[in-house]
């Protein structure tokens, strides 16, 4: 197949949508009381289910069928491989697993194709809302066929800021104390529970910014491209929280991104 950014975006949408349909079936099973074989990863509050694993397997199988020389980096580890094409697919098959298991609608599928210069293409599929966010390097960010643009927010005091919390209790508590301080300096804080979806909503102007730590590449690879192609700025940051170095992300329109970076420098 063609490997230009637009073709890769189309593949991400196709594969992510297939995984989303599979997850919709699992969600219906949950309503009926099905057991999804929930286990835990980094802590007792970090669940993984049969739905996560099945969705990742569908994604990996379809991507490798189309582009067998590409690398795979997925949250659940299915098909993990370096590849030799110079491209790697960064996958979160179910971002927002806790929301999914509780029947809350803020969960999504996140897929990005990256090379040595960053993300080439990506998609965030939101099955509960029937929404498909996608982007290709140099070709903008889209919600379906509507081109996206970040909000025009200029002042941090008027910004609606998304965030999230780590699974480790001590790190979560440490970041919670910082967020309490930030709350006094912004319009309000939102904690949706799925970083990829928060970043997609930021690209669509539904949030003015996002600031979060304890993130992995699969949490933000597609969302970062969406924000940047929608005219926003994104910076990777890391800070010590509860004795460990935690990777994070600052994202938003230029003025808000810069103000949040200044806040991070001053408070962490």
In this prediction the pTM is: 0.95
pLDDT of the chain, 268 residues: tens digit per residue: 899 999 999 999 999 999 999 999 989 988 767 677 666 656 665 566 888 889 999 999 999 999 999 999 998 777 789 999 999 999 999 999 999 999 999 999 999 999 999 999 999 999 999 999 999 999 999 999 999 999 999 999 999 999 999 989 999 999 999 999 999 999 999 999 999 999 999 999 999 999 999 999 999 999 999 999 999 999 999 999 999 999 999 999 999 999 999 999 999 9
Length of the chain: 268
Contact 156, 135 (CB under 8 A): no
Report how far residue 158's alpha carbon sits from residue 34's, in angstroms, rounded to the nearest whole number: 44
Q: Domains of the chain, with CATH numbers?
A: 5-147 (3.30.540.10), 156-267 (3.40.190.80)
Q: In 10 A of CB 237, how many CB atoms?
A: 17
Contact 257, 232 (CB under 8 A): yes
Antiparallel, parallel or unpaired: β 39-40 and 47-48: antiparallel
Q: To which H or E segment does residue 114 belong?
A: strand 108-115
Contact 93, 52 (CB under 8 A): yes
Tell which residue, 166, 190, 134, has the closest CA to residue 248.
166
């Amino acid at each position: 197949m063609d490997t230009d950014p637009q073709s890769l975006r189309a593949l991400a949408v196709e594969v992510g949508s297939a995984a989303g349909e599979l997850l919709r079936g699992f969600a219906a099973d949950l309503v009926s009381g099905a057991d999804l074989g929930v286990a835990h990863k980094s802590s007792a509050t970090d669940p993984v289910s049969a739905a996560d694993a099945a969705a990742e397997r569908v994604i990996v199988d379809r991507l490798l069928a189309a582009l067998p020389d590409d690398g795979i980096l997925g949250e659940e580890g299915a098909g993990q491989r370096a590849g030799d094409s110079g491209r790697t697919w960064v996958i979160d098959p179910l971002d927002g697993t806790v929301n999914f298991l509780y029947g809350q609608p803020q969960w999504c599928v996140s897929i990005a194709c990256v090379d040595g210069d960053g993300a080439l293409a990506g998609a965030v599929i939101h099955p509960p809302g029937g929404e498909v966010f996608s982007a290709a390097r140099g070709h903008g960010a889209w919600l379906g066929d509507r081109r996206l643009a970040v909000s025009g927010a200029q002042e941090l005091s008027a910004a609606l800021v998304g965030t999230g919390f780590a699974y480790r209790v001590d790190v979560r508590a440490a970041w919670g104390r910082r967020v309490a301080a930030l709350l006094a300096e912004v319009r309000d804080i939102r904690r949706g529970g799925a970083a990829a979806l928060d970043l997609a909503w930021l690209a669509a102007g539904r949030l003015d910014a996002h600031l979060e730590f304890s993130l992995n590449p699969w949490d933000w690879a597609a969302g970062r491209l969406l924000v940047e192609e929608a005219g926003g700025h994104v910076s990777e940051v890391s800070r010590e929280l509860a004795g460990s170095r935690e990777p994070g992300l600052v994202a938003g329109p230029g003025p808000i991104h810069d103000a949040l970076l200044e806040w991070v420098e001053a408070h962490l």
